[in-house]
């Protein structure tokens, strides 16, 4: 079994505290070290864990991205571009690519995958779940796009923007995959199983659905695009 990575799972499980200790600060902002007995030692540990977690999240999401690219390429009707660079993947915990269908001019849409946890997302996780992996689609068009994607995919995705999993209009979460350690008292998570679940979800989008999404996007008027 290839592990997702103990530092990454630890970061997700304790995301609020790790964000407080590891995330970059805005200019002039001071880090909140309230309650720490040995701040320098704790900060050094947080940097070590955070740096390792960043590399592990990039490895995982890029592997998911490769599966997504392979799927859309295999359909024989789409080209891909604007793939997220590794530095952005590592710092923002998402990967995305732009899917284009040449037969539908200006009909491009995005497909991606995000790894996250509360408080970054306003949900409650089940016991022993450290975080979630969310493959998703996004199209310009806001609520109109969400409704169109939902209809084209026949309602099987996990949720839309108004369900508040994400805060970006036009986005549909295809699945919400739990990150759960086995055994529960450890930080050991099977990375390949998660990648397989992402792949299984995205490959439900066939050639006809891909083309239908592109045709919808190509048909949007300027007034519909926001």
**DSSP-assigned letters across all residues of 64-81:** HHHHHHHHHHHTSS-EEE
CA–CA distance, 18 with 116 (Å, rounded to integer): 13
d(CA 65, CA 54): 16
Provide Rg for the chain, Cα atoms.
Answer: 19
- Cβ distance 55 to 47 under 8 Å? no
* Interatomic CA distance for residues 113 and 174, integer angstroms: 9
Query: Rounded CA gap, 56 and 86, in Å?
Result: 11
At 159, phi and psi to the nearest 5? -165, 165
**Predicted local confidence at residue 188, as pLDDT:** 92
Angstrom distance (rounded) from CA 26 to CA 121: 21
Residue 116: predicted pLDDT? 95
pLDDT of residue 153: 95
3-class state of residue 199 by DSSP: helix
pLDDT by 10s per residue, the chain, length 226? 799 999 999 999 999 999 988 887 666 677 777 777 887 888 899 999 999 999 999 999 999 999 999 999 999 999 999 999 999 999 999 999 999 999 888 889 999 999 999 999 888 898 889 999 999 999 999 899 999 999 999 989 998 776 667 778 899 999 999 999 988 888 999 999 999 999 999 999 999 999 999 999 998 865 555 5
| Extents of the domains making up the chain | 6-24+34-224
> Which secondary-structure segment (H or E) carries 113?
strand 109-116
Helix axes 6-13, 39-74, angle to 10 degrees: 110
> Please, which residues bridge with residue 97 across strands?
111
């Amino acid at each position: 079994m290839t592990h997702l990575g103990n530092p990454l799972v630890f970061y997700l499980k304790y995301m609020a505290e790790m964000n407080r200790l590891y995330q970059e600060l805005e200019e002039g902002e001071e880090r909140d070290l309230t309650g720490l007995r040995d701040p320098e030692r704790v900060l050094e540990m947080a940097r070590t864990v955070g740096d390792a977690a960043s590399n592990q999240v990039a490895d995982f999401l890029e592997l998911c991205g490769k599966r997504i690219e392979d799927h859309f390429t295999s359909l024989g009707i789409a080209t891909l571009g604007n793939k997220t660079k590794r530095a952005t993947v590592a710092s923002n915990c998402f990967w995305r690519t732009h899917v284009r269908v040449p037969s539908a001019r200006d009909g491009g849409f995005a497909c991606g995958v995000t790894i996250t946890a509360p408080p970054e997302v306003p949900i409650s996780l089940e016991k022993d779940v450290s975080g979630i992996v969310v493959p998703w689609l996004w199209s310009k068009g806001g609520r109109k796009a969400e409704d169109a994607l939902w209809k084209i995919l026949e309602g099987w995705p996990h949720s839309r923007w108004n369900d508040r999993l994400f805060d970006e209009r036009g986005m549909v979460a295809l699945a919400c995959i739990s990150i759960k350690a086995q055994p529960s008292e450890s930080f050991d998570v099977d990375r390949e199983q998660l990648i397989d679940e992402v792949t299984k979800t995205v490959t439900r989008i066939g050639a006809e659905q891909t083309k239908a999404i592109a045709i919808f996007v190509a048909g949007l008027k300027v007034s519909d695009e926001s």
